[in-house]
Chains A and B, each alone.
Chain A
Amino acid sequence: MNTIIAHINDIQSVENLNIVSLTCKDTKLKMMSLELNDTIQKNTKVMLTCKPTAIAIGKKIQGALSYSNQLHVKIISLEIGVLLCALKLQFGEFVLESIITSDSQKRMQLQIDDEVTALIKSSDLSIARVLS
């Protein structure tokens, strides 16, 4: 399971809809959520998770993107299948997995040691556990 440990800096709410702002190292992250339980508050440490299929990859990005979560990562492994490609990405001490099509991998010429951007929509990121 993809996991990232991050700190909650702020929670903006409208009725039961929330946008949680977090940081992990120097990277700013955002998560969209309905009701949050009482243990999820400002200054708590949480374990975030995200499906590998919900992580897109950007290389030499120009222009603006709506993705709230843009993580600078390094490709540490590639498993290239007939249709799909599973990438392992180093993000600080965390390893994330991304599944993209093999066509995209070829088109972008993604290779081990490439420094790329992992892109995650705020609605695809969720809190797996509260740590403190």
Chain B
Amino acid sequence: MIDIHIKKELYGANGTMNLDVNLHIKEGEFIALSGKSGSGKTTLLRILAGLEDAKGTIQVDNKLWLNNKKTIPVQKREIGFVFQDYALFENMTVEKNLLFVNNDKKLAQHLLELTELDSLKNRYPNRLSGGQKQRVSICRALMKKPKILLLDEPLSALDPTMRTKLQNELLSLHKEFHTTTIMVSHDPSEIYRLANRVIVLQNGEVINDGSPKDVLLKTQGSQKFSFEGELLDIKKIDVIYVAIVAIGQQLVEVVVSSAEAKNLQLGDKVNLSTKAFTPLIS
């Protein structure tokens, strides 16, 4: 349904980089776009939206949005875009923000009801919380019934509870409208909950493309419980060694034998793994 074959030279923090992406996206897919900062995710969304130029072709259904001769302007691409910051019209009420895009009162009412914003429709954006503002942005992006919804880390500024609530709303909206959605996200739980496909970019190229479970489950051999960490300390106790490893914000201790300890050096990036049968959940 969407065919993307684009190339663009980018100037990043580490010199020039070639964004070179070839993708086929089916109608109704919910895609999570992941990868380190500077890998080209936002640029890819901006090229799709028509906010940036690139070489190559973009075809949506049978319409060419971009080829080497012409490019269709932003307003003619049927796209909804939601950024991390809300970009609402501050001088308009919630309802007016939606109707400004498309004067369809019935659809606006339906969207506001789905996202529990109905009672706030006469409020101005400065009297809304961050989560409420972002819900308005998402509803507004859907007012044009876009072919593609582009979400650039839309929930990353929100607290965890509000994030989960909005993830559920995004999921209900996707179930109802089947809008093909591409969302930049770094959060594995968000990707697992929402997306049916994950595309990982690195230095402008797709390095992984598959189901969230296949892409995100860090496995080594048959180990299912696997984390990367940094070895901070290792000390001998009796005939064993205890290694202290930092994983994210947490420290963990792992018992290793002298033979295992021999190959370890402080500061090493290490992979901690165990079988799925061992961890306790409480």
Contact = CB atoms under 8 A, between A and B. Distances in A.
Nearest to B239: A81
A99 B221 contact: no
Interface stretch (B53-61, B77-85, B183-191, B257-265): B257-265
Contacts of B238: 81-84
B260 A126 contact: no
Contacts, number: 58
Given A81-B239, A84-B238, A52 B257 contact: yes
Given A33-B275, A99-B257, A127 B222 contact: yes
Given A40-B222, A126-B221, A127-B222, A1 B275 contact: no
Contact of B277 (A1, A40, A86, A123): A123
A124 interface: yes
Majority DSSP secondary structure for residues of B touching A = loop
B275 A126 contact: yes
Question: How many A residues are at the interface, by size bracket?
Answer: 20 to 34
Interface of A: 1, 31-37, 40, 46, 49, 52-53, 79-86, 97, 99, 123-124, 126-130
Given A36-B222, A126-B221, A129-B221, 17 more contacts: A1-B260, A32-B275, A33-B276, A40-B222, A46-B221, A52-B257, A80-B239, A81-B238, A81-B240, A84-B239, A84-B240, A85-B239, A86-B257, A86-B258, A97-B259, A123-B275, A126-B223
29 contacts: A1-B259, A32-B275, A32-B277, A33-B222, A33-B275, A34-B222, A34-B224, A35-B224, A36-B222, A37-B219, A40-B222, A46-B221, A79-B239, A79-B258, A81-B239, A81-B240, A83-B238, A86-B240, A97-B257, A97-B259, A99-B239, A123-B275, A123-B278, A124-B275, A124-B278, A127-B221, A128-B221, A129-B221, A130-B221
